[in-house]
């Protein structure tokens, strides 16, 4: 079985198939898509207990576990539903261990290659949550540990408890928080940085022109940057991106994915999609080389100063642990 560093630099985020975005494919179409993605060469699949409240893990368990030796399997614990059926962040050791048992059953596998703490439960010292996850490694149920949306300081504390293989956080041209400290910390600790939403939840593809066309249950409808106040301003920022992509003969999505991969040599990105043509284009972005001039031009076009609106609303910002720019603080 491969280590994360042996996989392709573009993995497949599987959330779109079961959770948060819409429209979602039928189970039959999702199963077909996942197998076609493996046929294309994807060798890193990323899921979570939260996605569809377990249904995404169950989908993978049904769709691709007969091809288990072809891919590196990542999933997450620490954020699921409580006794009332509502989304809950819970990092208690007993909950983490039970979530893993349930995940293994849903995934129809004996071991998860990379198991992330989806959110740090700030009521519980990070060492206690990671200690419980380390027990899972000792028991052979998990091979490697990861963290999601945590600060450089929290990463250091966790890494001293048990080696951390990967840190996953949103990162793209319009979400730059990892540049404050996390990217540097990952390099110093030899932790692979995994960028989720590297296409800014579809914004950087240039295909989403009107968020009002999204289904009512699509999470982007509640995200500030996709609001009627901010999205029209953000759309104008894509003009130079589209122009550069046209000159290079690639798509805006490929261009901006290549930008992400150029930030550090060990960067991994996990864009999500339900469309095979997008999956094919995304995978090809890893082979695109960008000049320093192009990288600089992209940096000038879309950055903290040019993007309109915060990444998350205040409630969500309060529950994550990542460093914030001054403009995002109260």
Catalytic residues: 51
* 239 Cβ neighbours under 8 A, 6+ residues apart: none
* 233 Cβ neighbours under 8 A, 6+ residues apart: 308
Instruction: Please report, for residues 169, 174, 225, 229, 322, the alpha-carbon distance to residue 178 in angstroms, rounded to integers and kept in the order given.
Output: 7, 11, 18, 26, 8
Burial 305-326, CB ≥16 within 10 A → b, else e: eebbbbbbeeeeeeebbbbeee
Residues 62, 67, 71, 73, CA torsion sign = positive
**DSSP state letters, 27-47:** HHHHHHHHHHHHHHT--EEE-
Q: Is 146 helix (H, G, I), strand (E, B) or coil?
A: strand
Q: How far apart are CA 186 and CA 210, in angstroms?
A: 36
């Amino acid at each position: 079985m491969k280590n994360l560093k042996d996989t392709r630099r573009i993995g497949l985020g599987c959330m779109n198939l079961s959770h948060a975005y819409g429209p979602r494919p039928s189970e039959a179409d999702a199963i077909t898509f996942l197998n076609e993605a493996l046929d294309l060469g994807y060798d890193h699949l990323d899921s979570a207990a939260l996605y569809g409240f377990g249904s995404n893990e169950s989908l993978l368990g049904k769709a691709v576990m007969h091809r288990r030796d072809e891919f590196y399997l990542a999933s997450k614990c620490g954020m699921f539903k409580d006794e009332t059926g509502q989304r809950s962040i819970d990092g208690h050791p007993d909950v983490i261990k039970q979530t893993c048992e349930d995940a293994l059953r849903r995934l129809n596998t004996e071991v998860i290659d990379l198991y992330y703490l989806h959110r740090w439960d700030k009521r519980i010292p990070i060492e206690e949550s990671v200690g419980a996850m380390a027990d899972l490694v000792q028991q052979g149920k998990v091979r490697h540990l990861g963290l999601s949306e945590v600060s450089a300081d929290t990463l250091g504390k966790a890494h001293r408890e048990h080696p951390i293989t990967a840190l996953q956080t949103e990162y793209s041209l319009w979400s730059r928080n990892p540049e404050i400290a996390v990217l540097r910390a990952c390099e110093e600790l030899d932790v692979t940085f995994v960028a989720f939403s590297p296409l800014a939840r579809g914004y950087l593809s240039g295909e989403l022109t009107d968020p009002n066309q999204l289904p009512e249950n699509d999470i982007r409808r509640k995200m500030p940057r996709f609001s009627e106040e901010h999205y029209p301003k953000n759309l104008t920022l894509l003009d130079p991106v589209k122009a550069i992509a046209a000159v290079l003969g690639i798509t805006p999505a490929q261009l901006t994915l290549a930008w992400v991969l150029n930030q550090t040599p060990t960067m991994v990105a996990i864009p999500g999609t339900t469309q095979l043509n997008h999956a094919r284009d995304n995978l090809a972005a890893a082979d695109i080389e960008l000049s320093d001039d192009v990288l600089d031009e992209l940096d000038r076009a879309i950055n903290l100063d040019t993007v309109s609106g915060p990444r998350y609303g205040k409630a969500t910002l309060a529950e994550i642990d990542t460093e914030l720019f001054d403009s995002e603080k109260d």
